[in-house]
Each structure stands twice: as C-alpha cells, then as structure tokens.
C-alpha cells in the first residue's frame, strides 16, 4: 500500500509559517489580498470564501469583491485597475472561470505582474519558462504539487521521469516547467496522446490534471511511483443518500494506491496546498513591495 501524502497537514505547516512570518513583519507591512468573484457559481463561492478566510487567519488584510454575473468587462477592468493602484493590496486573485461575455485573458493580463499571485500573467509565465523562478509568481496549484513531491523525492529530481497528464495554462504547463526546473525528465500528455496508459507507466512521478473522474487506473502506474492527483470532480454518491455527491480525483485511488509508492488523496491532497500557496505568494508580494527579503518555502 502506498504512503498517503497528507496535503492538509503540509498545507497547515505552510500556513503556520506564513502566519508567523506575517506577524514578524507586521510593523512594516500587512500583506493584503483582494479576491474577485463574478457570478454565483456555488463551487467558486466556496473556494473564494475559503481563500478570504484563510487570508484573515494568516493576519492579512483581506477584501472580497463579489460582483453580479452581468458586470461588464470594462467595469471589471476598472476594479482591477483600482486594486493595482491600492498600496494596501499586494495580491489580486480573479476567480476563474469568468462568465462567457468577459475575456478572461484580458482581465488576467490587466493585473499588475507584481500583484499576480496566481502567476497567470505573461511576465510571470515567461519568468517561470526561462528559469527566473525566484522573482516570479508561480501558479499556486503546481507550486503546491512541487512541495508535496519534495516530501517524497526531495528537491532535486535528477534521473527521475515525470509525466504530467493535462496541458492547461493553469496546471499542466507550469507543472511541467517546475518539474523540468527540478531536473526531472518531463513528458506532457493530453487528449491527443497515443497509448496514454503506456506513457503514464514510464513515470516515476505522475501528475494528473485532466478533469476526468478516476480516469487513471492502478495498472497504468509504475510500481513505487509518486502519484499527485490534482483533479477535483464531484460525482453522484447514491450510497450517501439521494442527490448526494462526493469528491474524487482524476486518479482511481483504490487501484492506484495498491501500486504507487506514495499518493495524494482527494480531498485533502493538492486542494489545501493550492490555498496555502496563495497565502505564501501574497506574503511574497508584500515582502517585495516593502523591500524585505522574501521567505522561502
């Protein structure tokens, strides 16, 4: 049976470190996080609320902007501009997805790269791609995955092969860049990849970011591999009662955990790390703005 990587516990360690560091600099700067939620998607409401709450628990200044679905792109851009120019705000997070009538790319690129704690701005993407990681903001989910991999494999992944399933700008591509920066030999698989089970079976490290419930099976996993499951999928759970649902990952946990060396659960794996890394990035943004040394995670 695989070791279960306790993302919730690692996230709590990160949050404790962020909280202590924020307290130590409180005389100079109080990190400020602004979250923007457009519309009423229930899952997004839950996530944004937990980000705002966590920011308060870290001792940050935390402001949540909840806007109606009908807001225009120009109005949203005006809010981003206001937050870009607000010295009390160091990090801006626009919860995705945005409604169809808004060009999310335009909104993301309007965020000041210095406040882009999601790491989605071209400047930060480019820094990650060219190895300027220390001055970049790294997207929270892949950054969290790297800290979980670190617990099992260490920071240097020389000689190890990694397969990332999924090539999104939010997870798959930055994940692949981070693994490469850590010296892994990286393959990116996606919906057009041939013989996916065979490709995944080569990997010492598998990162699943597909959005397909329980797609990756135990017999796709190399014995002893480290399996990081980014997927968050809500599926029907009639066993819990009529109309009930439960959360599962992109990996079939039951079969994969019999073969893997270590595996993250869903929930309690990558999800809590994403929120913890958002706090870490916001603290980093505040330190940079105040000319203080930035903490290391």
Ligand X SMILES: Nc1nc(=O)c2c([nH]1)NC[C@@H]1CN(c3ccc(C(=O)N[C@@H](CCC(=O)O)C(=O)O)cc3)C=[N+]21
- In b/e form, how buried is each residue of 72-84, taking b as 16+ CB within 10 angstroms? ebeebeebbeebe
Q: How far is CA 40 from CA 160, 192, 215, in A?
A: 43, 33, 29
- Among ligand X, ligand NDP, none, what binds residue 228 when CB lies within 5 to 8 Å by partner kind? none
Of 118, 204, 250, 252, the catalytic one is 118
Per the annotation, does 158 bind a ligand?
A: no
Q: Which is nearer to ligand X, 97 or 223 (CB)?
A: 97
Residue 168 labeled ligand binder: yes
Out of 25, 29, 110, 171, the residue judged to bind ligand NDP by CB under 6 A: 171
Q: Around Cβ 205, how many Cβ atoms within 10 Å?
A: 25
244 catalytic per annotation: no
Residue whose CB is less far from ligand NDP, 191 or 254: 191
Out of ligand NDP, ligand X, none, which partner does residue 267 contact, by CB within 5 to 8 A per kind?
ligand X
Other beta carbons within 10 Å of 243: 8
Stretch of 109-117, 230-238, 251-259, 281-289 lying at the interface with ligand NDP (CB under 6 A): 230-238
CA pair distance 269, 260, nearest whole angstrom: 15
CA distance 141 to 170: 8
> Quick check: 210 binds ligand NDP (CB under 6 A)?
yes
Check if 118 is active-site. Answer: yes
Q: Residue 240: helix, strand or coil by DSSP? A: helix
Question: Toward ligand X, which CB reaches closer, 160 or 297?
Answer: 297
Beta strands in the chain (DSSP E): 3-4, 32-38, 61-67, 91-94, 161-165, 185-189, 205-208, 226-229, 233-236, 245-248, 262-263
CA distance 179 to 176: 5
- Residue sitting closest to ligand X (CB): 271
Contacts to ligand X by CB under 6 A: 46-47, 93-96, 118, 140-141, 232, 247, 266-268, 271-272, 274-275
Contacts to ligand NDP by CB under 6 A: 141, 165-168, 170-172, 189-193, 196, 209-212, 230-233, 250, 270-271, 274
- Which residues carry out catalysis? 51, 95, 118
């Amino acid at each position: 049976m695989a070791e279960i990587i306790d993302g919730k516990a690692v996230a709590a360690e990160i949050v404790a470190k962020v909280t202590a560091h924020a307290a130590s600099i409180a005389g100079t700067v109080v990190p400020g996080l602004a979250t923007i939620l457009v519309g009423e998607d229930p899952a997004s409401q839950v996530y944004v609320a937990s980000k705002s709450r966590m920011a308060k628990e870290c001792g940050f200044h935390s402001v949540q902007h909840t806007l109606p679905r009908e807001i225009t792109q120009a109005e949203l851009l005006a809010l981003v501009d206001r937050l870009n120019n607000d010295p009390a705000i160091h990090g801006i997070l626009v919860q995705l997805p945005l409604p169809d009538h808004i060009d999310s790319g335009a909104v993301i690129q309007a965020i000041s790269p210095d406040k882009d704690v999601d790491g989605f701005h071209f400047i930060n993407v480019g820094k990650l791609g060219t190895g300027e990681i220390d001055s970049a903001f790294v997207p929270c989910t892949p950054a969290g995955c790297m800290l979980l991999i670190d617990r099992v494999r260490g920071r240097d992944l020389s000689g190890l092969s990694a397969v990332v399933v999924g090539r999104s700008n939010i997870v798959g591509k930055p994940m692949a860049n981070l693994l490469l920066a850590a010296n892994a030999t990286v393959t990116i698989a996606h919906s057009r990849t041939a013989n996916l089970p065979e490709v995944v079976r080569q990997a010492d490290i598998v990162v699943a970011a597909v959005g397909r419930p329980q797609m990756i099976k135990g017999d796709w996993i190399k014995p002893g591999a480290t399996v990081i499951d980014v997927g968050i999928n809500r599926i029907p759970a009639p066993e819990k009662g009529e109309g009930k649902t439960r959360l599962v990952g992109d990996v079939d946990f039951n079969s994969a955990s019999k073969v893997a060396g270590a595996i993250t659960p869903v929930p309690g794996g990558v999800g809590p790390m994403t929120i913890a890394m958002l706090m870490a990035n916001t603290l980093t943004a505040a330190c940079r703005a105040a000319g203080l040394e930035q903490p290391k995670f």
